[in-house]
Amino acid sequence: MGLINFPAALRIVALAGILLADLAYSIDLDINDEQSIKAAASTTTYAMMTYYKGNESGQIPGAFPTKWWEGSTLFLALLQYWHFTGDTTYNDELRVGLEWQAGDDDYMPSNYSSFLGNDDQMFWGLAAMTAAELQFADATDVGSGYSWLSLAQGVFNSQIKRWDNTSCHGGMRWQIWEWESGYTMKNAISNGGLFQLSARLARYTHQAIYSQWAEKIWYWSLSTPLISNSTWHVADSTSAIHHCDDQGDTQWTYNYGTYMMGAAYMYNYTNGSTVWLDAVNGLLTKTFDTFLSNNILEEITCEPTEQCNDNDILFKGLLSSWLSFTALLVPSTYNKIMPVLKASAQAAAKSCTGHNNNTCGVRWYLSTYDGWIGMEEQISATNIFVANMIAFDRSAPVTAYTGGDSTSNPSAGETNSSDTNPKESPITAADKAGAIMLTIAFVGGWIGIMGFILMGS
Ligand SMILES: *[C@@H]1O[C@H](CO)[C@@H](O)[C@H](O)[C@H]1NC(C)=O
Ligand SMILES: *[C@@H]1O[C@H](CO)[C@@H](O)[C@H](O)[C@H]1NC(C)=O
Ligand SMILES: *[C@@H]1O[C@H](CO)[C@@H](O)[C@H](O)[C@H]1NC(C)=O
Ligand SMILES: *[C@@H]1O[C@H](CO)[C@@H](O)[C@H](O)[C@H]1NC(C)=O
Ligand SMILES: *[C@@H]1O[C@H](CO)[C@@H](O)[C@H](O)[C@H]1NC(C)=O
């Protein structure tokens, strides 16, 4: 097939038409205008929700069968969208989905529990924690269900039981079950994620157990190659079978972000401890040294080569949210963080010009649509727009002492039967085969084997 050979003049007219169309469908973002940011977020959130089928008849709320953890990132984005814009359009989907996947108050729903990783479950715990901190009405107040705080506590309770002293003197393994590849690794997002969740529970509840665990996970992480408190380098993973003396060194924004976020909560919770301030500043500086292109956030490991998979595309959106919370909790970082949030949002807006309907691309730093399309692109764009709302609303996430009224249940999730060791409750070979297949799909996604299809622009 050859190209249609338009006369040059016609081609110029056609090109001008495309440019005009692009202009008409660009997100015209004025980064200093609150309404303009809200409008941009509304556009990307609408597109994000076109991928959500959980509220349709015959569908399961909050279920993303092949990528369960991603549901938590969708709901995280929706929570912050609602909080900072006041738009309640999606709140029913949000509440129902967050409850439906709750399992026995711990985000280990039996449909998924036999192949989840610690990080997958942890992200749902962070979503519930965010709901509590942003004062999203407890489901118990508007019907039936678990309180947001108890769900975060349930995830914490089930995860600390998996703290693994059989290797490396502690640490969370990446995976929960032995048959999953990745079980032999201890990784930054599982440990940094539980660290963040513990720090947020500490600040919200003032219960000592949570700050003790935050410190324990932090100092254990420092004792491994996962994180260094001299260079502030964060490695992706380390091998339990090699006594955690090696490092898988792929660089990802969210690994830095989750440790920074946890340190920010500990700083705020301790009324300004210098240990945590040093950690926040060290990680923030290193993050910006590593992942910025002209002040625009870039996932350096996969964006230049266009090899980001669905998971990877979400990471800098998560970092965007965590940067905005850090700026609120550690006010001295605000002036350093804000220019990056602004430049990234402006570039992201220019990437949202695809398909004449504001489809957003992956690489914000190109400042133009790059041909990619998917729910993940829309989630990350929503996150960076909403993160900029802290310029207008600097109210910090609440605690039980500053207006938060989500109901506490310190023993949430303690009785979940699907969380017991499957060696003690035998499963059939068929179940196991099914779980392994799903695991390969999941792990493949994480490692980047699957990639995704590049759509032409
Ligand atoms: C935008 O157009 C693309 C290509 O037709 C389509 O796949 C996508 O669903 C559309 N997005 C919205 C929000 O309508
Ligand atoms: C599902 O939610 C979307 C908004 O994301 C809405 O447009 C749609 O009407 C809802 N569908 C049903 C069946 O409630
Ligand atoms: C689990 O699967 C069943 C059968 O498809 C479904 O009815 C239920 O809603 C699912 N639960 C969750 C938490 O996804
Ligand atoms: C922080 O300060 C408040 C108010 O002075 C005090 O009640 C609280 O105990 C302090 N927190 C810590 C962890 O020292
Ligand atoms: C904790 O966060 C609040 C809310 O943003 C802020 O006012 C306060 O100054 C922070 N505490 C410290 C010690 O910086």
265-300 pLDDT tens trace: 999 999 999 999 999 999 999 999 999 999 999 999
**Ligand 5 atom nearest residue 332's Cα:** 14
Going from the Cα of 93 to the center of ligand 2, the distance in angstroms, rounded, reads 8
Look at the block and give the residue holding tokens 């039936």: 144
Token reading at 403: 């207006």
Residue whose Cα lies nearest atom 6 of ligand 5: it is: 329
Yes or no: say if 61 and 96 are a contact pair by the CB < 8 Å rule. yes
pLDDT given for residue 419 in this prediction: 54
Query: Above 90 in pLDDT, residue 22?
Result: no
Tokens of 154: 């349930």
Rounded to the nearest whole angstrom, what is the distance from the C-alpha of residue 206 to the centroid of ligand 4?
9
- Check whether 437 has a pLDDT greater than 90: no
Residue 434 scores a pLDDT above 60: no
Taking CA atoms only, the protein residue closest to ligand 1 atom 3 is: 355
pLDDT at position 23 is 53
The response to whether residue 90 sits with its C-beta less than 6 Å from ligand 2 reads yes
Q: Residue 12: pLDDT band by 50, 70, 90 thresholds?
A: very low
Distance of CA 157 from the midpoint of ligand 4 (Å)? 25
Q: And the tokens for 391?
A: 């310029």
Contact 115, 78 (CB under 8 A): no
Which ligand is the nearest neighbour of the Cα of 203? 4
Give 323 Cα–ligand 5 centroid separation in angstroms: 15
Q: Which whole number is the average pLDDT over 171-194?
A: 96
Q: Scanning the structure block, which residue is given the tokens 């940094």?
A: 192
**Cα-to-centroid distance, 273 and ligand 2 (Å):** 46
Exposed, middle or buried, 358 (CB in 10 Å: 0-12/13-18/19+)?
buried
For the segment 293-315, what is each residue's pLDDT rounded down to a tens digit? 999 999 999 999 999 999 999 99
The count of other CB atoms within 10 Å of the CB of residue 12 is 11
Rounded to 5 degrees, φ, ψ at 163 are -55, 125
Residue 415: the pLDDT is 78
Q: With cut-offs at 50, 70 and 90, classify the pLDDT of residue 200.
A: very high
Instruction: Count CA within 13 A, CB hemisphere, residue 105.
Output: 21
- Mean predicted lDDT score pLDDT of the chain: 88
For the CA of 59, the nearest ligand: 3
Residue 421 has pLDDT above 80, yes or no: no
Residue 14 has pLDDT above 60, yes or no: no
Domain edges within the chain: 6-454
Asked whether the predicted pLDDT for residue 328 surpasses 50, the reply is: yes
* Cα–Cα distance measured from residue 352 to residue 52, given in angstroms and rounded to the nearest whole number: 19
Residue 39 has pLDDT above 70, yes or no: yes
Nearest CA to ligand 5 atom 11: 268
Q: How far does residue 55's CA lie from ligand 2's centre (Å)?
A: 6
- Both tokens of residue 329? 């909790």
DSSP three-state, residue 39: helix
Structure tokens at 277: 């301030």
**90 vs 113: CA distance, rounded Å:** 27
- Check residue 140 and give its pLDDT: 76
Out of 144-148, 386-390, 446-450, least confident range: 446-450
Is the pLDDT at 337 greater than 90? The verdict is yes
What's the CATH code, domain 6-454?
A: 1.50.10.20
User: Residue 196's pLDDT is what?
Assistant: 98
Tell me which ligand sits closest to the C-alpha of residue 418: 3
> Is the shortest distance between the CB of 338 and ligand 5 below 6 Å?
no
